[in-house]
Amino acid sequence: MQNRFFDILEKDYNIKLNNQQKDAVMHKDGPALILAVPGGGKTTVLICRTANLIKNYGVNPENILSITFSKASAWTWKIDLRQFLKIYQRQE
Ligand SMILES: Nc1ncnc2c1ncn2[C@@H]1O[C@H](COP(=O)(O)OP(=O)(O)OP(=O)(O)O)[C@@H](O)[C@H]1O
Ligand SMILES: [Mg+2]
């Protein structure tokens, strides 16, 4: 299930997550702290992790709280996640 998820990321998004990113994306329960340099792929991980919780663990999106620093990043976050879930849906 997880491998297929990462395959889709690679094929449709050209995002080849590294092993640390994959670990963080697969993290399900409890808190996780993600530290990386600017542009190091943190937001990508959080969006993929959110999609993973919804699609692979059936978590109700209404129970997921995502907070961003600016309105602009909230907007791109929403677009990215929607886009991702749509593509993932199509392949099921
Ligand atoms: N493993 C990866 N392989 C290739 N590209 C990646 C990978 N992870 C992230 N990217 C790309 O790198 C760019 C920066 O990623 P992202 O925005 O997730 O980083 P960030 O750590 O959140 O940045 P910032 O510090 O500016 O918030 C994006 O274009 C993203 O698609
Ligand atoms: Mg970011």
Q: What is the pLDDT of residues 81-90, one digit of tens each?
A: 888 887 776 6
- Write the pLDDT tens digit of every residue in 23-34: 999 999 999 999
Domains of the chain by start residue, with CATH: 2-90 (3.40.50.300)
Percentages of the chain per state (helix, strand, coil), in multiples of 5: 65, 0, 35
75, HSE (Cβ side, Cα atoms, 13 Å) = 3
pTM: 0.89
Q: Does 27 contact ligand 1 (Cβ within 6 A)?
A: no
Q: Does 26 contact ligand 1 (Cβ within 6 A)?
A: no
Ligand with smallest separation from the Cα of 36: 1
- Write the pLDDT tens digit of every residue in 37-57: 999 999 999 999 998 999 889
- Check if the beta carbon of residue 26 is closer than 8 Å to that of residue 2: yes
- Name the amino acid, one letter, at 26: M
